Chain A
Amino acid sequence: MTFDDFVADRLDPLLRYATVLCYDPHLAKDVVQEALLRAQQQWPRIQVEVDNPSAYVKRMVTNEFLSWRRRRAAREVSATLHTLDAIGSPTDDPTHGIAEREAMLGRLAKLPRKQRVALVLRYYEGCDDAEIGAVLGCRPGTVRSLLSRGLATLRLRATGSPTRSLSVVKETT
Protein backbone atom coordinates (compact mmCIF):
# COMPACT_ATOMS: atom_id res chain seq x y z
CA MET A 1 0.00 0.00 0.00
CA THR A 2 1.37 3.43 -0.91
CA PHE A 3 1.31 6.24 1.60
CA ASP A 4 -1.28 8.05 -0.54
CA ASP A 5 -3.52 4.98 -0.45
CA PHE A 6 -3.08 4.74 3.29
CA VAL A 7 -4.04 8.38 3.77
CA ALA A 8 -7.04 8.06 1.49
CA ASP A 9 -8.24 5.11 3.54
CA ARG A 10 -7.34 6.16 7.07
CA LEU A 11 -7.31 9.98 7.27
CA ASP A 12 -10.97 10.41 8.14
CA PRO A 13 -11.05 7.70 10.85
CA LEU A 14 -7.83 9.08 12.33
CA LEU A 15 -9.24 12.61 12.38
CA ARG A 16 -12.40 11.43 14.12
CA TYR A 17 -10.39 9.43 16.64
CA ALA A 18 -8.14 12.42 17.37
CA THR A 19 -11.13 14.74 17.61
CA VAL A 20 -12.61 12.61 20.37
CA LEU A 21 -9.23 12.25 22.03
CA CYS A 22 -8.25 15.93 21.93
CA TYR A 23 -11.77 17.25 22.39
CA ASP A 24 -10.87 20.11 20.04
CA PRO A 25 -11.16 19.64 16.27
CA HIS A 26 -8.38 22.14 15.56
CA LEU A 27 -5.94 20.55 17.95
CA ALA A 28 -6.93 17.14 16.54
CA LYS A 29 -6.06 18.34 13.06
CA ASP A 30 -2.64 19.49 14.24
CA VAL A 31 -2.03 16.21 16.06
CA VAL A 32 -3.00 14.08 13.05
CA GLN A 33 -0.99 16.28 10.72
CA GLU A 34 2.15 15.96 12.82
CA ALA A 35 1.76 12.19 13.07
CA LEU A 36 1.11 11.75 9.35
CA LEU A 37 4.04 13.96 8.36
CA ARG A 38 6.29 11.73 10.45
CA ALA A 39 4.66 8.61 9.05
CA GLN A 40 5.23 9.95 5.54
CA GLN A 41 8.94 10.32 6.22
CA GLN A 42 9.10 6.81 7.68
CA TRP A 43 6.74 5.14 5.23
CA PRO A 44 9.34 3.02 3.39
CA ARG A 45 10.27 1.45 6.72
CA ILE A 46 6.69 1.21 8.02
CA GLN A 47 5.57 -0.45 4.81
CA VAL A 48 8.23 -3.15 5.08
CA GLU A 49 8.62 -3.70 8.80
CA VAL A 50 5.20 -3.05 10.35
CA ASP A 51 2.51 -5.72 10.29
CA ASN A 52 -0.40 -3.37 10.83
CA PRO A 53 0.34 0.16 9.58
CA SER A 54 -3.10 1.40 10.63
CA ALA A 55 -2.54 0.42 14.25
CA TYR A 56 1.00 1.76 14.10
CA VAL A 57 -0.05 5.19 12.84
CA LYS A 58 -2.92 5.29 15.32
CA ARG A 59 -0.30 4.75 18.02
CA MET A 60 1.70 7.64 16.53
CA VAL A 61 -1.38 9.86 16.75
CA THR A 62 -1.95 8.75 20.34
CA ASN A 63 1.65 9.46 21.28
CA GLU A 64 1.47 12.85 19.60
CA PHE A 65 -1.58 13.60 21.72
CA LEU A 66 0.11 12.34 24.90
CA SER A 67 3.23 14.42 24.30
CA TRP A 68 1.58 17.56 23.03
CA ARG A 69 3.16 20.59 24.61
CA ARG A 70 1.69 21.55 27.95
CA ARG A 71 1.27 25.18 26.93
CA ARG A 72 -0.74 24.19 23.91
CA ALA A 73 -2.80 21.77 25.98
CA ALA A 74 -3.66 24.44 28.51
CA ARG A 75 -4.98 26.65 25.75
CA GLU A 76 -6.92 23.76 24.29
CA VAL A 77 -8.70 22.90 27.52
CA SER A 78 -9.41 26.54 28.20
CA ALA A 79 -10.92 27.15 24.80
CA THR A 80 -12.99 24.01 24.71
CA LEU A 81 -14.30 24.34 28.23
CA HIS A 82 -15.27 27.94 27.63
CA THR A 83 -17.09 26.85 24.55
CA LEU A 84 -18.82 23.90 26.11
CA ASP A 85 -19.75 25.76 29.22
CA ALA A 86 -21.17 28.70 27.36
CA ILE A 87 -22.84 26.94 24.51
CA GLY A 88 -26.37 25.74 24.24
CA SER A 89 -27.90 23.33 21.77
CA PRO A 90 -28.58 24.35 18.17
CA THR A 91 -31.53 22.00 18.11
CA ASP A 92 -34.44 21.44 20.42
CA ASP A 93 -33.61 18.92 23.09
CA PRO A 94 -36.47 18.56 25.53
CA THR A 95 -34.89 15.54 27.20
CA HIS A 96 -31.69 17.49 27.95
CA GLY A 97 -29.80 14.62 26.34
CA ILE A 98 -27.35 16.92 24.60
CA ALA A 99 -26.55 18.78 27.80
CA GLU A 100 -25.99 15.45 29.48
CA ARG A 101 -23.65 14.29 26.72
CA GLU A 102 -21.72 17.56 26.80
CA ALA A 103 -21.36 17.24 30.55
CA MET A 104 -19.91 13.77 30.11
CA LEU A 105 -17.50 14.97 27.44
CA GLY A 106 -16.53 17.90 29.63
CA ARG A 107 -15.60 15.50 32.41
CA LEU A 108 -13.69 13.35 29.93
CA ALA A 109 -11.64 16.37 28.81
CA LYS A 110 -10.45 16.91 32.37
CA LEU A 111 -9.18 13.39 32.88
CA PRO A 112 -5.47 12.56 32.82
CA ARG A 113 -4.49 11.89 29.24
CA LYS A 114 -3.81 8.18 29.50
CA GLN A 115 -7.21 7.64 31.08
CA ARG A 116 -8.74 9.61 28.23
CA VAL A 117 -6.93 7.47 25.68
CA ALA A 118 -8.02 4.25 27.39
CA LEU A 119 -11.66 5.34 27.55
CA VAL A 120 -11.74 6.57 23.95
CA LEU A 121 -10.15 3.38 22.67
CA ARG A 122 -12.64 1.29 24.64
CA TYR A 123 -15.83 3.22 24.08
CA TYR A 124 -15.22 4.87 20.72
CA GLU A 125 -12.93 2.40 18.96
CA GLY A 126 -14.27 -0.73 20.68
CA CYS A 127 -10.80 -2.01 21.61
CA ASP A 128 -10.27 -4.71 24.23
CA ASP A 129 -7.76 -4.47 27.07
CA ALA A 130 -4.92 -6.05 25.09
CA GLU A 131 -5.41 -3.72 22.12
CA ILE A 132 -5.51 -0.68 24.39
CA GLY A 133 -2.38 -1.93 26.11
CA ALA A 134 -0.64 -2.25 22.74
CA VAL A 135 -1.40 1.39 21.91
CA LEU A 136 -0.43 2.70 25.32
CA GLY A 137 2.51 0.37 25.81
CA CYS A 138 1.25 -1.05 29.07
CA ARG A 139 -0.14 -4.33 30.42
CA PRO A 140 -3.85 -5.25 30.40
CA GLY A 141 -3.96 -4.91 34.17
CA THR A 142 -2.80 -1.32 33.88
CA VAL A 143 -5.42 -0.72 31.18
CA ARG A 144 -8.16 -2.02 33.48
CA SER A 145 -6.92 0.30 36.19
CA LEU A 146 -6.93 3.29 33.84
CA LEU A 147 -10.45 2.44 32.69
CA SER A 148 -11.70 1.89 36.20
CA ARG A 149 -10.35 5.20 37.46
CA GLY A 150 -11.61 7.04 34.39
CA LEU A 151 -15.08 5.56 34.67
CA ALA A 152 -15.22 6.37 38.35
CA THR A 153 -14.42 10.00 37.59
CA LEU A 154 -17.02 10.07 34.84
CA ARG A 155 -19.37 8.22 37.17
CA LEU A 156 -20.36 5.78 34.46
CA ARG A 157 -21.26 2.19 35.10
CA ALA A 158 -19.58 -0.25 32.77
CA THR A 159 -22.20 -2.73 31.67
CA GLY A 160 -20.36 -5.13 29.43
CA SER A 161 -17.54 -5.97 27.12
CA PRO A 162 -16.45 -3.61 24.39
CA THR A 163 -18.39 -3.67 21.14
CA ARG A 164 -17.22 -2.81 17.68
CA SER A 165 -20.53 -1.72 16.28
CA LEU A 166 -19.77 1.98 16.60
CA SER A 167 -16.43 1.64 14.88
CA VAL A 168 -18.06 -0.09 11.95
CA VAL A 169 -20.78 2.51 11.65
CA LYS A 170 -18.29 5.32 12.06
CA GLU A 171 -15.97 4.12 9.35
CA THR A 172 -18.61 3.49 6.74
CA THR A 173 -20.48 6.77 7.00
Chain B
Amino acid sequence: MSDETAFRDALAQHAELARGREEILAALRDPLPRRNRKPLGVAAAAIAVAGAAGIGLTALMSPPAYAVTRHPDGSVTVTINDIKAVDPANEKLRELGVRARAVPMTADCADIDGTRTYQGADWDFPSFSGNTVTLPARIPEGHTVLLSVTDLPDRGTGLGITVPIEDPAPSCVLDPARR
Protein backbone atom coordinates (compact mmCIF):
# COMPACT_ATOMS: atom_id res chain seq x y z
CA MET B 1 0.00 0.00 0.00
CA SER B 2 1.43 3.38 -0.99
CA ASP B 3 1.76 6.26 1.45
CA GLU B 4 -0.80 8.11 -0.55
CA THR B 5 -3.34 5.30 -0.37
CA ALA B 6 -2.75 4.93 3.35
CA PHE B 7 -3.33 8.65 3.75
CA ARG B 8 -6.60 8.46 1.81
CA ASP B 9 -7.72 5.53 3.95
CA ALA B 10 -6.81 7.39 7.12
CA LEU B 11 -8.84 10.42 6.09
CA ALA B 12 -11.82 8.29 5.11
CA GLN B 13 -11.75 6.42 8.41
CA HIS B 14 -11.39 9.60 10.42
CA ALA B 15 -14.39 11.07 8.57
CA GLU B 16 -16.55 8.32 10.02
CA LEU B 17 -16.08 9.89 13.46
CA ALA B 18 -18.45 12.65 12.32
CA ARG B 19 -21.16 13.37 14.84
CA GLY B 20 -23.57 16.04 15.96
CA ARG B 21 -26.04 15.63 13.09
CA GLU B 22 -29.15 15.79 15.29
CA GLU B 23 -27.86 18.78 17.24
CA ILE B 24 -27.26 20.69 14.02
CA LEU B 25 -30.74 19.85 12.76
CA ALA B 26 -32.18 21.07 16.07
CA ALA B 27 -30.21 24.32 15.80
CA LEU B 28 -31.45 24.84 12.24
CA ARG B 29 -35.05 24.24 13.32
CA ASP B 30 -34.79 26.81 16.08
CA PRO B 31 -31.98 29.26 15.27
CA LEU B 32 -31.21 31.73 18.04
CA PRO B 33 -30.19 35.30 17.35
CA ARG B 34 -26.53 35.21 16.38
CA ARG B 35 -25.36 37.25 19.34
CA ASN B 36 -26.79 34.69 21.76
CA ARG B 37 -25.49 31.63 20.00
CA LYS B 38 -22.60 29.61 21.21
CA PRO B 39 -21.16 26.38 19.87
CA LEU B 40 -23.29 23.46 20.95
CA GLY B 41 -20.36 21.54 22.34
CA VAL B 42 -19.60 24.33 24.77
CA ALA B 43 -23.25 24.77 25.70
CA ALA B 44 -23.72 21.06 26.33
CA ALA B 45 -20.66 20.95 28.57
CA ALA B 46 -21.91 23.89 30.57
CA ILE B 47 -25.29 22.27 31.11
CA ALA B 48 -23.66 19.05 32.24
CA VAL B 49 -21.53 20.92 34.73
CA ALA B 50 -24.52 22.82 36.09
CA GLY B 51 -26.59 19.68 36.42
CA ALA B 52 -23.89 17.70 38.14
CA ALA B 53 -23.08 20.36 40.64
CA GLY B 54 -26.67 21.37 41.32
CA ILE B 55 -25.94 25.01 40.80
CA GLY B 56 -27.85 27.84 39.19
CA LEU B 57 -27.12 29.48 35.90
CA THR B 58 -25.51 32.45 37.60
CA ALA B 59 -22.74 30.20 38.82
CA LEU B 60 -21.84 29.10 35.29
CA MET B 61 -19.40 31.95 34.99
CA SER B 62 -17.00 30.04 37.23
CA PRO B 63 -17.44 26.34 36.53
CA PRO B 64 -16.62 23.87 39.27
CA ALA B 65 -13.32 22.05 39.28
CA TYR B 66 -14.97 18.83 38.17
CA ALA B 67 -18.29 17.18 37.43
CA VAL B 68 -19.31 13.57 36.91
CA THR B 69 -22.76 12.92 35.46
CA ARG B 70 -24.37 9.59 34.70
CA HIS B 71 -26.91 9.60 31.86
CA PRO B 72 -29.99 7.40 31.49
CA ASP B 73 -28.27 5.34 28.77
CA GLY B 74 -25.48 4.44 31.20
CA SER B 75 -22.86 6.70 29.65
CA VAL B 76 -21.02 9.05 31.98
CA THR B 77 -19.82 12.56 31.28
CA VAL B 78 -16.71 13.67 33.13
CA THR B 79 -15.48 17.24 33.22
CA ILE B 80 -12.23 18.17 34.96
CA ASN B 81 -11.22 21.81 34.88
CA ASP B 82 -8.50 21.67 37.51
CA ILE B 83 -5.83 19.03 38.05
CA LYS B 84 -6.41 19.39 41.78
CA ALA B 85 -9.84 17.86 41.25
CA VAL B 86 -8.44 14.48 40.17
CA ASP B 87 -8.97 12.83 43.58
CA PRO B 88 -12.56 13.95 44.18
CA ALA B 89 -13.43 13.13 40.56
CA ASN B 90 -12.05 9.61 41.05
CA GLU B 91 -14.01 9.26 44.26
CA LYS B 92 -17.19 10.06 42.37
CA LEU B 93 -16.28 7.65 39.54
CA ARG B 94 -15.69 4.89 42.09
CA GLU B 95 -18.99 5.69 43.79
CA LEU B 96 -20.81 5.33 40.46
CA GLY B 97 -18.92 2.15 39.60
CA VAL B 98 -17.41 3.62 36.45
CA ARG B 99 -14.31 1.83 35.17
CA ALA B 100 -12.41 5.04 34.54
CA ARG B 101 -9.79 6.94 36.48
CA ALA B 102 -8.44 10.45 36.17
CA VAL B 103 -4.64 10.58 36.37
CA PRO B 104 -2.07 13.31 35.94
CA MET B 105 -0.07 13.53 32.74
CA THR B 106 3.56 13.81 33.76
CA ALA B 107 6.93 14.09 32.09
CA ASP B 108 8.43 11.13 33.95
CA CYS B 109 5.66 8.52 33.96
CA ALA B 110 6.33 5.12 32.39
CA ASP B 111 4.77 4.75 28.95
CA ILE B 112 1.64 2.64 28.66
CA ASP B 113 2.42 -1.03 28.14
CA GLY B 114 0.79 -1.85 24.81
CA THR B 115 0.33 -5.50 25.78
CA ARG B 116 -2.05 -4.45 28.57
CA THR B 117 -4.38 -2.42 26.38
CA TYR B 118 -7.78 -3.82 25.50
CA GLN B 119 -7.77 -5.32 22.02
CA GLY B 120 -11.42 -6.26 21.65
CA ALA B 121 -14.35 -4.33 20.26
CA ASP B 122 -16.74 -4.66 23.20
CA TRP B 123 -16.80 -1.00 24.07
CA ASP B 124 -17.67 2.28 22.40
CA PHE B 125 -15.19 5.01 21.72
CA PRO B 126 -15.61 7.95 24.15
CA SER B 127 -16.57 11.32 22.78
CA PHE B 128 -14.66 14.32 23.99
CA SER B 129 -14.52 18.07 23.77
CA GLY B 130 -12.02 20.19 25.66
CA ASN B 131 -12.13 19.29 29.33
CA THR B 132 -15.15 17.01 28.96
CA VAL B 133 -15.25 13.33 28.06
CA THR B 134 -18.35 11.18 27.73
CA LEU B 135 -17.52 7.59 28.54
CA PRO B 136 -19.53 4.74 27.05
CA ALA B 137 -21.79 2.59 29.20
CA ARG B 138 -19.67 -0.43 28.34
CA ILE B 139 -16.09 -0.56 29.53
CA PRO B 140 -14.71 -4.11 29.65
CA GLU B 141 -14.50 -5.73 33.07
CA GLY B 142 -11.01 -5.87 34.49
CA HIS B 143 -10.02 -2.78 32.53
CA THR B 144 -9.94 0.95 33.21
CA VAL B 145 -10.07 3.92 30.87
CA LEU B 146 -7.59 6.59 31.92
CA LEU B 147 -8.44 10.27 31.69
CA SER B 148 -5.22 12.21 31.67
CA VAL B 149 -5.17 15.71 33.11
CA THR B 150 -2.26 18.05 32.63
CA ASP B 151 -0.94 21.24 34.09
CA LEU B 152 2.32 21.02 32.19
CA PRO B 153 3.35 24.27 30.54
CA ASP B 154 2.63 24.59 26.82
CA ARG B 155 0.38 21.55 26.78
CA GLY B 156 -2.84 23.53 26.74
CA THR B 157 -5.93 22.14 28.37
CA GLY B 158 -8.17 19.23 27.62
CA LEU B 159 -8.61 15.72 28.90
CA GLY B 160 -6.65 12.96 27.24
CA ILE B 161 -8.21 9.52 27.04
CA THR B 162 -6.85 6.03 26.58
CA VAL B 163 -8.32 2.77 25.48
CA PRO B 164 -9.21 0.44 28.38
CA ILE B 165 -6.08 -0.75 30.15
CA GLU B 166 -5.84 -3.98 32.10
CA ASP B 167 -6.14 -3.50 35.86
CA PRO B 168 -4.37 -2.44 37.98
CA ALA B 169 -4.41 0.78 35.98
CA PRO B 170 -1.34 3.05 36.01
CA SER B 171 -1.49 6.09 38.27
CA CYS B 172 -0.17 8.50 35.63
CA VAL B 173 0.18 8.93 31.88
CA LEU B 174 3.36 9.94 30.13
CA ASP B 175 3.36 13.32 28.42
CA PRO B 176 3.37 12.33 24.71
CA ALA B 177 6.02 14.99 24.05
CA ARG B 178 8.48 12.96 26.16
CA ARG B 179 8.11 9.73 24.22
Contact = CB atoms under 8 A, between A and B. Distances in A.
Contact of B24 (A33, A81, A83): A33
Given A75-B158, A83-B161, A87-B163, A26 B10 contact: no
Interface string B116-139: 011111010101111000000000
A144 interface: no
Q: How large is the interface on B (under 10, 10 to 19, 20 to 34, 35 or more residues)?
A: 35 or more
**Interface size grouping (class) on chain A:** 35 or more
Given A30-B41, A78-B158, A91-B121, 4 more contacts: A30-B40, A40-B31, A156-B7, A158-B4
Given A11-B24, A90-B121, A104-B7, A25 B157 contact: no
Contact of A29 (B23, B34, B105): B23
A89 interface: yes
A155 B9 CA distance: 16
B139 to A, nearest CB: 11
Given A90-B123, A91-B121, A166-B8, A82 B15 contact: no
B4 A37 contact: no
A75 B163 contact: no
6 contacts: A25-B19, A29-B24, A37-B27, A79-B159, A123-B8, A166-B12
A23 B10 CA distance: 11
Interface of A: 7, 11-12, 15-20, 23-30, 32-34, 36-37, 40-41, 72, 74-75, 77-79, 81-83, 85-92, 97, 100-102, 104-105, 120, 123-124, 154-160, 166, 169-170
B18 A19 contact: yes
Interface stretch (B54-62, B92-100, B148-156): B148-156
Nearest to A17: B15
Interface in B136-173: 146, 148, 150, 155-163, 173
